[in-house]
Amino acid sequence: MDAPVSPPTPAPPTDPLLVLRGIVKQFPGCLANDHVDLTVGHHEIHALLGENGAGKSTLVKIIYGVMKPDAGTITWDGKNVTIANPAQARALGIGMVFQHFSLFEALTVAENIALGLNNPEDRVGLYDRIVDISTRYGLPLDPKRAVHDLSVGERQRIEIVRCLLQNPKLLIMDEPTSVLTPQEVQKLFGTLRRLAAEGCSILYISHKLEEIRALCERATIMRLGKVTAHCIPAEKTARELAELMISAKLKTQNFGGRAESTQPPRLVLDRLTIRSNQPFGTDLKDISFAVAPGEILGIAGIAGNGQTELMEALSGEIPAGSPKNILLDGIEIGHEGPMARRKLGCCALPEERNGHGAVGGMTLSENGFLSANLRGALQRLGLINRKRTREFAASVIERFDVRTTGPEAEARSLSGGNLQKFLIGREVVQQPGVLILSQPTWGVDAGAAAAIYEALVALAEGGTAIVIISQDLDEILMLCDRIAVIAAGRVSAPVKVKDATIEQIGLLMGGSQHEELAHVPA
């Protein structure tokens, strides 16, 4: 039997879908976009690269109508347009998945998605459509769940599904794969390639440069507000792309493989079992592991499998069932709160930097005081030592190359990556005995990530025991000495990184089985 004849594919339009010319955006003390040109063709997957503070976020917010340019022109599908607001952008066919989510926490998943749909008829059958699309793309969502009960990864799924429901002509994606397993990343890439073949262009922002090489056809590279280079990512190595972004040579560094410590462990979890304090959270079940001085242990897993509860149990935000469930240098701390644990030498930084790791309306000095007031001796007799507090913030800014106007800048004025560098630095400078980090380089560029890794390795070499909870497998495999996987509230037995593979870890993250990594078939 002859195969069915496919209808001829229509010739793609000759004019680009989106053309920006001479885009300028000025903020007080900062020229965010300096006469930027950008062209995105029909059916194209186009990368927008640059280190933190390069102007990428400002540019895509202009495309999406969140901000208005001070100068320059926007041409959409051959016509000059002024995009006054996001509703107009969506009407044109532009969808955007933000790195920092634009969600109302008191509303459900479906209610948040409905707010992004311009036409009332698009809300008909919305629950079923959410379930259908989220299931089809491997991003499971319950439309009835309240957003305030969701993890960061689950919130990102809402943004992706909301855009896909609108059948956009241009889809802007900012760090969309940070919560996916390798298998799910490939499934998403297949979806994006299919969307592009069907006529939807993709403007893709990511700091995962191997993803850029595998997915994107062209790349525009920005630095300090200007376009500095164009390239075809597949013709460059990840290292070459990173060096184009930072206009410098990256230092070669092999982070993992530290010698095993013979000293007693600094952090011990012994059969930790906790019921989640969130209605739709994940209970922790019988978790046991130990971290030695100078060791970095990585906890891999898909968001929503108990990472939030594990982080809160380790930081002291929720108490363990028994004081003996968590030991810090032999001291029972299961019922101690965050400040008591910090005083004993256990510092922590959660995954959500806005609102949890930092208070946006406070200055960097004030945010430094929030966690370092005891270990940094930033108070005396109940009063804030403002001079020492400013000096502490200034030392973090200088050591971690935080791009800001100074210690009195508000946290919300920083780009996501620069705020993350400050928060990591705030904890590292305190020289803790144990450091717990969740998603330490989420949204951070290659140069900043390398600086963070170097600081963590130096801290480990000084005897600190470090636990990193991350969905970035490349990060864990490069940085950590041992790795475990969290799935459905259980943590697999840690094994040496050299004995595990990305494929094996991905299987465990996907919940197909839960055994020791060493027992997973290659």
At residue 34, the pLDDT reads 95
* Cβ–Cβ < 8 Å for 370, 384: no
Query: Could you give the CA distance from residue 19 to residue 328 in angstroms, rounded to a whole number?
Result: 57
pTM recorded for the entire structure: 0.67
H or E element: which one contains 490?
strand 490-491
Residue 7 is given by DSSP the state P
Query: Could you give the CA distance from residue 453 to residue 479 in angstroms, rounded to a whole number?
Result: 7
Higher per-residue pLDDT: 102 or 112: 112
Which residues neighbour 512 within 8 Å (Cβ) at sequence distance 6 or greater?
A: none
* Cβ–Cβ < 8 Å for 158, 176: no
| Digit-coded pLDDT (tens) for 388-429 | 999 999 999 999 989 899 999 999 998 877 898 999 999 999
Average pLDDT over residues 490-507: 82
Average pLDDT over residues 376-385: 88
Query: Could you give the CA distance from residue 170 to residue 163 in angstroms, rounded to a whole number?
Result: 10
- Sorted by where each starts, the structural domains of the chain and their CATH numbers stand as 18-246 (3.40.50.300), 252-345+432-522 (3.40.50.300), 356-430 (no CATH)
Statement: residue 67 has pLDDT above 50: yes
Higher per-residue pLDDT: 146 or 522: 146
| Digit-coded pLDDT (tens) for 471-489 | 777 788 889 999 999 988 9
Higher per-residue pLDDT: 214 or 123: 214
| pLDDT band, residue 234 (cuts 50/70/90) | very high
In DSSP notation, 37-89 reads EEEE-TT-EEEEE--TTSSHHHHHHHHTTSS--SEEEEEETTEEE---SHHHH
Structure tokens at 384: 């804030």
Statement: residue 5 has pLDDT above 70: no
| pLDDT band, residue 256 (cuts 50/70/90) | low
* Cβ–Cβ < 8 Å for 46, 202: yes
| Digit-coded pLDDT (tens) for 294-322 | 999 999 887 778 999 999 999 999 999 99
Residue 445, SS3 per DSSP: coil
The single-letter code of the amino acid at 109 is V
Statement: residue 90 has pLDDT above 60: yes
Average pLDDT over residues 457-475: 90
Query: Could you give the CA distance from residue 72 to residue 199 in angstroms, rounded to a whole number?
Result: 26
Residue 149 is given by DSSP the state G
Structure tokens at 344: 């004993």
At residue 259, the pLDDT reads 64
Average pLDDT over residues 427-432: 95
Structure tokens at 321: 């069932």
Query: Could you give the CA distance from residue 214 to residue 192 in angstroms, rounded to a whole number?
Result: 12
Query: Could you give the CA distance from residue 301 to residue 489 in angstroms, rounded to a whole number?
Result: 10
Query: Could you give the CA distance from residue 479 to residue 297 in angstroms, rounded to a whole number?
Result: 9
Which residues neighbour 425 within 8 Å (Cβ) at sequence distance 6 or greater?
A: 396, 397, 399, 400, 402, 455
| Digit-coded pLDDT (tens) for 137-176 | 767 899 999 998 886 667 778 888 888 888 889 999 987 7
Percent of the chain with pLDDT over 90: 54
